[in-house]
């Protein structure tokens, strides 16, 4: 697999999961996201350290590591080899969950078929383990919303982020246009999936809840991801917006 195919598979999966958000025609279809936020967990072949060598082979370069202990998350920012989307690889730390939800998620993940634990496309092939039952999902969401998300969705693209400057528009203009399309943006930089640096203006647009069929055949609508817009508050600096996404105090050593 080459990087172009990897990105294409990530995006096709996102389009399938979010036909409404990916169908917005407020900027050119060919416009690349500023970054792609991929969510995984620190277990087996889906652990960050197991995934990074493949991403490096695709040409990405790990640039910075971030730790968010209050959220039970680690993240690595990877620079693209060209002007394409950077990657924010986010890893849920199972050890931060209490024992019952941690054991439930490990048991679920442990049921993945061997064939689904190998290859270079572990982040774009969907959920590799069985669907949880509704009760297990509720237990996991109560412990950590992203634990529930991973149980149902598997490691994959959670949301893309677009830099308004690269789209040639202002954030307030795009925010208004997206609102007219029926999506309400959230400017809360403290309580979303990731904390967002004060150096960026930011909006997150959750996708509509999607109907999922759980293990016992019952159907429920649950959150699935979304789309983000960012805009540098100081346009003179040469850094990519992705470099400024996470707060400086969350940085840690990159081994």
Is the Cα torsion angle 221, 223, 226, 230 positive or negative in sign? positive
Two structure tokens written together for 33: 């996201």
Whether 127 has a pLDDT exceeding 90, the answer reads yes
**Better-predicted residue by pLDDT, 136 or 193:** 136
Q: Look up tokens 């994959």; give the residue.
A: 156
Tell whether 182 is covered by a domain.
yes
User: In this predicted model, what pLDDT tens digit does every residue of 35-77 receive, in sequence order?
Assistant: 999 999 999 999 999 999 999 999 999 999 999 999 999 999 9
Distances in Å between the Cα of 186 and the Cα atoms of 183, 191, 192, 206, 229 are: 10, 10, 9, 8, 10
Tell whether 134 is covered by a domain.
no
Distances in Å between the Cα of 20 and the Cα atoms of 16, 192, 203, 209, 220 are: 9, 21, 17, 11, 19
Tell whether 146 is covered by a domain.
no
Tell whether 116 is covered by a domain.
no
pTM: 0.96
Whether residue 207 contacts residue 193, with contact meaning beta carbons closer than 8 Å, is answered with: no
Tell whether 245 is covered by a domain.
yes
Mean pLDDT for 225-250 is 90
- Can you tell me whether residue 218 is helix, strand or coil? coil
Mean pLDDT for 170-192 is 92
Tell whether 63 is covered by a domain.
yes
Mean pLDDT for 154-182 is 95
Local confidence band at 236 (pLDDT 50, 70, 90 cut-offs): low
CA distance 178 to 196: 20
Q: Where are the beta strands (DSSP E) in the chain?
A: 35-41, 61-68, 73-79, 86-92, 156-163, 200-206, 210-213, 219-222, 226-232, 251-252
Whether 255 has a pLDDT exceeding 80, the answer reads no
User: In this predicted model, what pLDDT tens digit does every residue of 196-209 receive, in sequence order?
Assistant: 999 999 999 999 99
User: Residue 170 belongs to what domain range?
Assistant: 3-96+155-252
CATH of the domain at 87: 3.10.180.50
Tally of structural domains, the chain? 1
Local confidence band at 238 (pLDDT 50, 70, 90 cut-offs): confident
Tell whether 123 is covered by a domain.
no
User: In this predicted model, what pLDDT tens digit does every residue of 130-165 receive, in sequence order?
Assistant: 999 999 999 999 999 999 999 999 999 999 999 999
CA distance 225 to 157: 8
User: In this predicted model, what pLDDT tens digit does every residue of 91-108 receive, in sequence order?
Assistant: 999 999 999 999 999 999
Tell whether 91 is covered by a domain.
yes
């Amino acid at each position: 697999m080459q990087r172009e195919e990897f990105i294409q598979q990530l995006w096709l999966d996102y389009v399938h999961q979010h036909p409404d958000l990916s169908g917005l025609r407020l900027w050119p279809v060919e416009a690349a996201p500023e970054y792609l936020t991929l969510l995984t967990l620190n277990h087996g072949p889906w652990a960050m350290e197991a995934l990074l060598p493949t991403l490096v082979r695709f040409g990405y370069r790990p640039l910075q590591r971030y730790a968010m202990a209050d959220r039970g998350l680690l993240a690595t920012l990877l620079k693209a080899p060209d002007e394409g989307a950077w990657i924010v690889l986010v890893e849920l730390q199972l050890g931060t969950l209490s024992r019952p939800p941690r054991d439930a998620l490990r048991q679920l993940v442990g049921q993945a078929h061997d064939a689904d634990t190998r290859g270079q496309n572990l982040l774009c092939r969907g959920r590799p383990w069985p669907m949880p039952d509704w009760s297990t999902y509720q237990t996991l969401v109560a412990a950590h919303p992203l634990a529930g998300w991973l149980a149902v969705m598997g490691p994959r693209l959670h949301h893309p982020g677009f830099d308004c400057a690269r789209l040639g528009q202002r954030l307030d203009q795009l925010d208004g246009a997206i609102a007219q399309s029926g999506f309400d943006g959230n400017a809360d930089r403290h309580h979303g999936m990731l904390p967002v640096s004060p150096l960026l203006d930011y909006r997150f647009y959750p996708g509509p809840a999607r109907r999922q069929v759980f293990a016992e055949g019952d159907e429920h609508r649950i959150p699935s991801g979304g789309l983000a817009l960012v805009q540098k508050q100081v346009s003179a600096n040469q850094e990519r917006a992705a470099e400024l996404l996470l707060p400086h105090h969350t940085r840690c050593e990159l081994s």
